[in-house]
Amino acid sequence: MDSQERILLKVEGLKKYFPVRRGFFQRTAAHIKAVDGVDFAIAEGKSVGLVGESGCGKSTVARVILKLLEPDAGRIVYKGRDITPLSPKEMKPLRKEMQIVFQDPFSSLNPRMTVGQSIEEGLRILGLSKNRRQGRRDELLEMVGLSAMTADRYPHEFSGGQRQRVGVARALSVESSLIICDEPISALDVSIQAQIINLLKDLQDRLDLSYLFISHDLNVVGYLSDTVAVMYLGHVVEYARADTLFEDPRHPYTRVLLSAVPSVEADLTSKIKTLKGEVPSPMDPPPGCKFQGRCPLVEPRCKQGEIDFSRVGEDHLVRCWKAT
Amino acid sequence: MEEAYAPPHKDTLLLVEDLRVHFRGHDHVARAVDGVSFDVHTGETVCLVGESGCGKTVTALAILGLVPIPPGVIASGKIRLRDTNLLTLTEEGLQDIRGNQISMVFQEPLTALNPVFTIGDQIMEAIQVHEKVSENERRRRCIGLLTDVGIPSPEARLKDYPHQLSGGQRQRVMVAMALACHPALIIADEPTTALDVTVQAQILNLMKSIQHASAMSVLYITHDLGVVSTVADRVYVMYAGLIVEQGTRDQVFQHPRHPYTRGLLASLPSRSKRGKRLYSIPGSVPNPAFKPKGCPFHPRCSAAIAECAVDFPGMCDYGHGHLSRCPPVYSRERQE
């Protein structure tokens, strides 16, 4: 990250454990270590991609950043201010700056509210007058490529792509500077995905938004993000600029992930690298490197103690001995 | 022009001709599949690719006689497996074919497997229905199948219920079940869509290696063009119940002819397109009950001319098995 760029959000050593309760007294028997050491930073007007397979904790990271869940350790610094200890009441003024677009445009809109009402709700909470709310609502609908006439319609009258546009309009309704997109296009058809990607890109250029882009699809992340953090079993294993990550992946997991993504541009002679086994349970991760059970390069020292980031290049961090 | 693709064995295993499957609603008819023809040769992988609602799953269900009738109607067409027309078979006749000569792998293994039976019971049932073999033999075959699909310690897994397995392992069990009676054709309907990418790569490799070992054919149904480019020998692109383009993988991906195929490929995000605006196909897929007249793609097409709204487009032959349903593009490119 260039030092000239102003950091909007910085996350350091973020941890979130969920207790597993068992037995008559519901004693805490174990913890699911959903997020277990996540660090990254988003500069103003830039996008960070958070990639990983299901269960790696990427959506939990989103919820912790928005303080919908309380972190167990770590710091969330927004515009230079540590927001980790803030109470829900203290968070309220910040909420209008941090918004989220959810994966499923079918379940994230209230079916009993017109899309206009859904978009206006945030503005009402900010205390805008009815006239100003409606003006802003129409402006937002036009901005995401829907007609202002559609404000009185209900979500079921829209297609998936249109609903996702409404989701984006709702996230923009307040004075957002950070938008967290949690798999915003994976529920959409291929021909519609490009429409939403273009929309997100245009809005970023126009409004100088920062995105945290959460996805399992490396093709999308490679297209949209400036910086990419690869997550495996609760922590970031590699963190680099998108170009660097795709051209010179260092962590064995990143390498496999890149080769496993089917792409129409892939060289068909190159063999897909496959891993043995599947992602282990986050309840009982092995000591040492969490990737040890599936890693082709594993050696005894990987099984002892936590592995810290090593810097392998400018802005390129890897959690692996072998990478340096 | 590139070499035409020659399948490992030239004989046609499955031939679908002018298949039309309609669903009657109370005031309209949804023409989900509207004149689909394709063939699958022995030993090859054929992909039906298209977006949701294009009729690809209904086509697969029609092959196995699984379209619910009513509300479904097979309005016309032939589905021939070697010399048998599957559409004229009785339910018992179809039972003999299903699981035995054609089997299916579904998208969501958790709903396709029965939760109250062990996976051993379910695989052995598939064998028992079609072959008279002793229980010991069935068990032995079952363990062999689970070993083939890469499930560790298969003897112990036989007694597991589906919920005790992970998503990838369940899909492996589905593949094992599909293979139980050495079918000639496996229909795989989005078999890896619910899986993570690294597990998806495992399942795709597994299917490829089984296919090489047994000269089996695979009809692969998916919306994911990346997967298609990794597995397909030949590709059929579907839109609104029609095949709009067909050819070998290289023909369709290197030299796409139909505006829809071109649009889809141009709209895929990738790292190499960074900084450039993605092409996006305007509008959305038409409702199968209210398809536009003429070419169903014309309202979204960048190459549409006045005739497109009137004339139903025929297939244009680019040679070597490459066909596209777009006469305007064909005649324009011929002139150049």
Q: B264 and A191 in contact by Cβ < 8 A? A: yes
Residue A161 touches chain B, beta carbons under 8 Å: yes
B177 and B190 fall within a common domain: no
ipTM of the complex: 0.78
Considering the domain architecture, whether residues B227 and B94 belong to the same structural domain is answered as yes
Q: Do B284 and A192 touch (CB under 8 A)?
A: yes
Does residue A1 have a pLDDT over 50? Answer: no
Nearest-CA neighbor of A94 among A9, A26, A197, A170?
A: A9
B318 & B227 share domain: yes
Chain A residues within 8 A of B265 when measuring between CB atoms: 264
Distance from CA of A260 to the nearest CA of B (A): 6
Indicate whether B161 and B276 sit together in one domain. Answer: no
Strand ordering across the sheet containing B102-105? B102-105, B185-189, B217-222, B45-49, B234-239, B242-248, B323-324, B316-317
Taking CB atoms and an 8 Å limit, are B271 and A190 in contact across chains?
Answer: no
Same-domain check for residues B272 and B255? yes
Tell me, what's the pLDDT at A270? Answer: 55
Euclidean distance between CA atoms B308 and B292, whole angstroms: 10
Token pair of A101 as six digits? 């677009």
Closest CA to A249 of A321, A178, A168, A316: A316
Q: Same domain for B95 and B193?
A: yes
- If asked whether residues B90 and B142 sit together in one domain, one would say no
Establish if B168 belongs to a structural domain.
yes
CATH number at residue B267: 3.40.50.300
| Shared-domain flag, residues B146 and B262 | no
**Mean per-residue pLDDT for A165-169?**
89
Q: What percent of chain A has pLDDT over 70?
A: 95
Question: Is B107 part of any domain?
Answer: no
Report the chain A residue with the minimal C-alpha distance to residue B165: A278
How do the domains of chain A map onto residue ranges?
7-97+175-323
- Pick A7-97+175-323's CATH classification: 3.40.50.300, 3.40.190.10, 3.30.420.40, 2.30.30.90: 3.40.50.300
What does the pLDDT read at residue B219?
Answer: 93
- Where does a domain end: B182, B213, B228? B182
**Residue B5 domain-assigned?**
no
At A9-67, the pLDDT tens digits run: 999 999 999 888 887 777 877 888 888 889 999 999 999 999 988 778 888 899 999 98
Same domain, yes or no: B23 and B170: no
Domain check: are B221 and B317 in the same one? yes
Task: Quote the mean pLDDT of chain B.
Answer: 86
Confidence at residue A211, expressed as pLDDT on a 0 to 100 scale: 93
Q: Do B278 and A265 touch (CB under 8 A)?
A: no
Average pLDDT, chain A: 85
Same-domain check for residues B94 and B42: yes
Any CB–CB contact under 8 A between A219 and chain B?
yes
Please report the pLDDT score of residue B242 as a whole number.
Answer: 92
pLDDT tens-place values along chain B, 336 residues long: 445 565 555 688 999 999 999 988 888 888 889 989 999 998 899 999 988 888 888 899 899 888 888 888 888 888 998 888 888 888 888 888 887 889 888 887 778 888 899 988 888 888 888 888 888 888 888 888 888 877 878 888 888 888 888 777 888 888 888 888 888 899 998 888 777 788 788 888 888 888 888 888 999 999 888 889 888 899 999 999 999 999 999 999 999 999 999 999 988 888 778 878 888 888 878 888 888 888 999 999 988 888 898 889 999 998 888 999 999 898 888 887
Last residue of a domain, one of B182, B202, B230: B182
Top-confidence residue, B172 or A279: B172
Chain B residues interacting with chain A (CB cutoff of 8 angstroms): 51-52, 166-169, 196-202, 204-205, 223-230, 253, 263-265, 267-274, 277-282, 284-285, 300
Would B3 be classed as within a structural domain? no
pLDDT for B39 equals 92
Task: Encode chain B in three state secondary structure.
Answer: CCCCCCCCCCCEEEEEEEEEEEEECCCCEEEEEEEEEEEEECCCEEEEECCCCCCHHHHHHHHCCCCCCCCEEEEEEEEEECCEEHHHCCHHHHHHHECCCEEEECCCHHHHCCCCCCHHHHHHHHHHHHCCCCHHHHHHHHHHHHHHCCCCCHHHHCCCCHHHCCHHHHHHHHHHHHHCCCCCEEEEECCCCCCCHHHHHHHHHHHHHHHHHHCCEEEEEECCHHHHHHHCCEEEEEECCEEEEEEEHHHHHHCCCCHHHHHHHHHCCCHHHCCCCCCCCCCCCCCCCCCCCCCCCHHHCCCCCHHHHCCCCCCEECCCCCEECCHHHHHHHHHC
Clarify whether residues B131 and B241 are in a common domain. no
**Rounded CA separation A115/A262 (Å):** 36
Q: Find, in chain B, the residue whose alpha carbon is nearest to that of A196.
A: B280
The count of domains in chain B is: 2
Q: What domain range includes position B176?
A: 113-182
How many CB pairs below 8 Å do chains A and B form together? 127
Residues of chain B positioned with their CB less than 8 A from the CB of A265: 270, 272
